Amino acid sequence: MEITEQQEKQLRQATEDFSIAMEIRNAMTIRVAKRVTAILRVGMVSLSIVTIILLLMLYAFTSKMGAMIDALATMDTQFSSMSGDMTKMRTTMHNMQRNIAHVPAITQATVDISNSVSNMNGEVGGMNLTIASLNYKVYGITNHVSNMNQEFRSIDPAVQQIGRDVYRANGPMRLMNDMNPFD
C-alpha cells in the first residue's frame, strides 16, 4: 500500500511534532530532577549544619553542668551550716534580749536574716534539683539529636535512589530521541 504525498507530509509533520513534544518533555523532566536534587542537597546541608550547631551547643552546656551542680551543692551545704548557726544566734539573742532591754531591734533583724537564710537554703535545694533535672533532659535532647543525625544519614540513600529512578524513568525518552529518523 502506497501513501500519497499528502499523507507522507502529514506523517512527517506528526513525527516532527511528536519529536518536539518528547524533547520538551525530556527537558522538563531533567529540569525538574535538577531542581529536586538541588533542593534536597540544600535541605540536607542545612539540616546537617543545624544538627552540628545543636550538638555543639549541647556539648558546651553539658560540659559546664557538673561544675554548676557542684557549686550549687557547695552553696546548699554552706547555707545549711549558716541556717544552723543562725538558730544558735537566735537563741543567744533571745537570752541577750531578756538581759538587755534596749536590743530588741537587733534581735528582730537577726530573726529576719535567719528566716531569709532558711528560705534561701530551701530555694537553693530546689535549684539543685531543677538543674539536675535539666541535666537529665539535656542528655535526652543529645540522644534525640543523635537519632536525627542517623535518620538524615538513612535518607541519603533514598535521595540517591530517587535520582536513579528519575534517570531510569527518563530512559524511554532518551531511546525515543535516539530513534529520531530525521536526524
Domain ranges of the chain: 11-178
pLDDT in tens, 42-93: 999 999 999 999 999 988 888 887 887 888 888 888 877 777 777 787 888 7
The highest-level CATH class for domain 11-178 is mainly alpha
Phi, psi for 170 (deg, rounded to 5): -85, -10
Contact between 75 and 120 under an 8 Å Cβ cutoff? The reply is no
pLDDT in tens, 119-152: 888 888 888 888 888 888 888 888 888 888 788 7
**Residue 122 pLDDT:** 85
Q: Give the amino acid at 57.
A: M
CA distance 66 to 72: 10
Alpha helices in the chain (DSSP H): 5-99, 104-169, 171-178
Going by pLDDT thresholds of 50, 70 and 90, the confidence category of residue 168 is confident
